[in-house]
């Protein structure tokens, strides 16, 4: 885990939906990079459902360093950012989100932008998560569920990213236990349909946030990191 990771570049961690494990994978990858000597930072463009939800806080705790993650905006309603901002009459602009992400990425050796829900989640001013990833011009790592139904959601997510010119660097099937035929066959089927490498992360106990770093780095290969 301490071996050097060669030439990692900025990237986004996006999900096929909400609750698929983007934050756990983000924490694991950022912590893995930092343990290998790379000044990596997770960037959460907007956190809704705060509190109690705090994805950047989880990443920072997992890495044991507040500098490991930053959140640009926090809103209380557990809704899409554009909807949450409207509900509480808060000003939220797409340009501020985009420029904030660019600044945060520039301040780190490797910036890891964590998405919000799925790609079509409204951010602000008629723009969506997929617009942000495309405008940041970074490759994307897709986090998906492992069980029944994930083939469709994952293939559509990859198709949407490619339609916007985003390179899909890899796919991670999260909480993979291999207990059903669907789970066992999904990775190969998804890889065949998309032409993208698929890796798996097992269910993690996460008794402590740092368990995400150990669990993700043990499960995934170094090739999961997009490189320059």
Q: Which residues are known catalytic residues?
A: 44
Whole-angstrom Cα distance, residue 221 to residue 225? 8
DSSP state of 4: P
Tell me if 24 is assigned to a ligand binding site: yes
Q: Which tokens belong to 114?
A: 């964590």
192 is written with which tokens?
A: 């065949």
Question: What are the tokens at 156?
Answer: 């559509």
C-alpha angle with apex 101: 136 to 9, nearest 5 degrees? 60
> Known binder of ligand: residue 126?
no
Is 175 one of the annotated binding-site residues?
Answer: yes
Can you name the residues that pair with 145 across neighbouring β-strands?
Answer: 174
Q: Was 20 annotated as part of a binding site? A: yes
209 is in an annotated binding site: no
Bin 178: left if φ > 0, else alpha if -120 < ψ < 50, else beta.
left
Best CA proximity match to 166, nearest among 188, 142, 201, 149: 142
Q: Is 55 annotated as a binding residue?
A: yes
Query: Would the annotation count 16 as a binding residue?
Result: no
User: Is 159 annotated to bind ligand?
Assistant: no
Residue 202 annotated as lining a ligand binding site: yes
Residues 94-127, buried b or exposed e (16+ Cβ, 10 A)?
Answer: bebbbebbbebbeebebbbbbbbbbbebbbbeeb
Whether 116 has a binding-site annotation, put simply, is: yes
Q: Is 115 annotated as a binding residue?
A: yes
- Annotated binding residues for substrate: 48
**Binding-site annotation, residues:** 19-24, 48, 55, 114-117, 174-175, 202-204
């Amino acid at each position: 885990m301490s071996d050097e990771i060669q030439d990692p570049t900025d990237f986004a961690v996006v999900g096929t939906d909400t609750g698929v494990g983007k934050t756990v994978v983000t924490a694991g990858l950022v912590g893995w990079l930092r343990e290998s000597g790379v000044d990596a930072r997770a960037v959460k463009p907007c956190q809704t459902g705060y509190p109690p939800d705090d994805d950047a806080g989880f990443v920072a705790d997992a890495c044991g360093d507040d500098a490991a993650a930053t959140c640009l905006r926090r809103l209380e309603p557990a809704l899409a950012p554009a909807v949450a901002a409207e509900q509480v009459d808060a000003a939220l602009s797409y340009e501020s989100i985009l420029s904030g992400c660019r600044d945060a990425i520039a301040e780190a050796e490797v910036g890891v932008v964590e998405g919000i829900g799925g790609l079509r989640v409204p951010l602000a001013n008629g723009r969506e998560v997929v617009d942000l990833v495309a405008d940041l011009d970074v490759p994307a790592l897709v986090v998906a569920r492992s069980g029944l139904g994930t083939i469709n959601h994952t293939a559509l997510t990859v198709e949407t990213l490619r339609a916007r010119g985003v390179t899909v660097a890899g796919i991670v099937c999260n909480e993979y236990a291999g207990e059903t035929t669907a789970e066992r066959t999904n990775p190969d089927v998804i890889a065949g349909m998309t032409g993208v490498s698929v890796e798996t992360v097992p269910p993690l106990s996460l008794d402590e946030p740092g368990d995400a770093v150990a669990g993700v780095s043990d499960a995934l290969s170094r090739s999961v990191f997009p490189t320059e």
